[in-house]
Structure 1
Amino acid sequence: MQNGQIEHSLQQLYPKMVQWRRYLHQYPELSFKETATAVWIAEQLVAMGCEVERGVGGNGVVGVIRGMERGPVVALRADIDALPIQDEKSCEYASKVAGVMHACGHDAHTATLLAAAEYYSRHRQTFRGERRLLFQPAEEVTPGGAVGMIQDGALGEAEAIYGVHLWTPLSYGLAASRAGAFMSSADEFTIEIEGKGGHGGLPHQAVDALFIGSAFVQAVQSIVSRNVNPVQPAVVTVGSFHAGTTHNVIAESCQLKGTIRSFDEEERRRIHVRLEALLKHTCEMYGASYQMDLRLGYPPVINEEVEAERFFKVAAKLFGGDQAIISEPVTVAEDFAYYLQHLPGCFMFVGAGNPDTGADYAHHHPRFDIDERAMVHSARLLIAMAEDYAAFGR
């Protein structure tokens, strides 16, 4: 299968990609509620002549395309859910669903994978084996959709898996990834501190939950600076603090919410232990009690070295050697991590940022948009990675 043939076919499919993406952008659905989206995706796959597995891991859809000969089984994945954000763009394809929008590019991921499906359906005689195209629900909300897809057999007999995230911080034309830890884990904590309320003028008769919470927030800053290996990036952020009601009343309770980001499982566990130890010590020191709910999010995205090397080889051929770059580790989480715990593979960024077209807003911003031409690059990369694996294996 020649890169020129792939490029020509995908350029022909580009108007369809735009049409698909803009339709999905207008009719987004939230995580775990992607029922209409799943039906629509299945309809497109059936029209292409794909075998379709519905209801995989909830609202997941798997398209199966077999070549003319037996051979490797490779999986490609896209996420399909949207976010609870009001679309503030002024364009013909802005979301028609109040308070819901595709603010992270999942609509374009879906359109990209549909283009790969149509390409493979048209060129069954040119590849060996099986391609499994995973349209996954619920990437944006833990526990995520990947685990359910895996449990329901979405991977089948796959030997490798690849995924792409269109990424506006990266300029159109570039592609990036890295070997090893690429994207961080993301855990969440909610803490309730219970003190004893009282009169603002009589603090000695109260246990000030607001003060104790403040002391804890200060203590938390020591975790990364003094407990985490300096060569292991990590983040502990308290993002929400609520206590008290008025000027002269000492707060009886305090609620804090935050996030923990890490690239190493050992450091991740160490942060969890240290967080509660600091909380316990601070509350005991001032006579308060506490409850902590620590919710484990996605594990780190760990790209196997062999597969990362495949990315740099393939992307250099597709886009030029200076366009395939080594990404810094990114403290954003992705449940593609679960697939990489089961199969060798690689997660990759394709540049979709372009300030000239308004595609320069951050992911999850109300005016988020992409340079739609990046969908062709994304589809080319996914297909080329699959075919390089099929041709050369590991």
Structure 2
Amino acid sequence: MTEVHNAPHRLDPAGGCPHAANARFLAEGAVTRVVLPDDVEGAIVLGHQELKEFLSHPDVAKNARHFTALENGEIPDGWPLRTFATVQSMTTADGADHRRLRSLVSRAFTARRVEALRPRVEELAARLLDDLERAAAQSEDGTADLRRNFAMPLPMGVICELLGVDAEQGEQLHALSNRVVSTSLKPADVVAANQELLQVLAQVAAARAADPGDDLTSALIAAREEDGDRLSEPELIGTLMLMVIAGHETTLNLITNAVRALSGHPEQLDAVRSGTADWGDVVEETMRWDSPVSYFPFRYPTRDLTLDGTVIPAGTPVLAGYSGAGRDPRTHGADADVFDVTRTQVRHLSFGHGAHFCIGAPLARMEASLALEALFTRFPQLTVAVDETEIPRRGSFVGNSVPVLPVRLTAAP
């Protein structure tokens, strides 16, 4: 057994479609060495089985005190991935701290609470489809940006309602979260985006403290006031940041990627309409085939860890390669690259695995299923208006999607 032996791959901060690179990585092994921005050495676990093992391994931590380069003072303040490591929330906590923070948030994502949101999601989706149709009617070419007019405001509206955030702040939080998850910003822009996002979230917390409501922010503040040991101020703000970013960015990408996939594979849309598959199948296959997250930061081996015959040194920042694991042919078969909503036993890790499995997965699944059904019921002839190769990619190797998605709601004349 040796350390990861292939030459490291330098990840492009501008992101791009990950699938061609993932195929090359997987051909070399389930683990690949990478060079992150500012020449920080890291690794990605891309094999499905290896990633599943890694995500629940007892010798893998989330707390950045195990990040050797960070602890040694080698990571600058303006490093574009620093927030992923240092934000104080359940996503960077281990053991009892993780269980404490997760328990405070879990009440907002119970099966009963998620199901109670269904009428609100349906109502919001219907209103946004009106907006989408209006935008297309007002454009010169009859197209509209589905991402801006539908895929973004739907999950953003839901998470804002859960957190007790008004619509105007929601727009601001979306813009800031986009900058925070970018991996291509200059250091000064990274620092500015993080500071501004923290300021806005502090304003949200102050507003809810002054006027509590039936929302998660008010509940977190109440828990903090009742027992100061349960939630510190940085943990409160960090938890709000996590909820805002994870609560809408991934679902936004999921809806966008599903529409792109169905538009490019009309026979799969026919399978849903004929009853051979359902909208839940579309969601699960999209999560596998085009995961909303390419490479998610970070986990750290607390000792030298062997996966697939290679060693990841202790303290290495490791990315979870969800987009690669979703197309690993060793798990998904020779047709792993094929988008097939009728696929039996769809398995993916795009919501994570183990103790840190995404707490919002039931809500994301419900939102995306309802959104897709409402969209294609209202506009059965909807197609993406340009060739896939003409659509730009997001400036991040963390999120996996496109920044705009022009669609045509009716058949072209």
Same fold by TM-score, threshold 0.5 exceeded?
Answer: no
**Structure with greater Cα Rg:** 1
Q: Given the two structures, how large is their TM-score scaled by the length of structure 2?
A: 0.27
The structure with the greater share of residues assigned to helix is: 2
Bigger fraction of residues in strand: 1
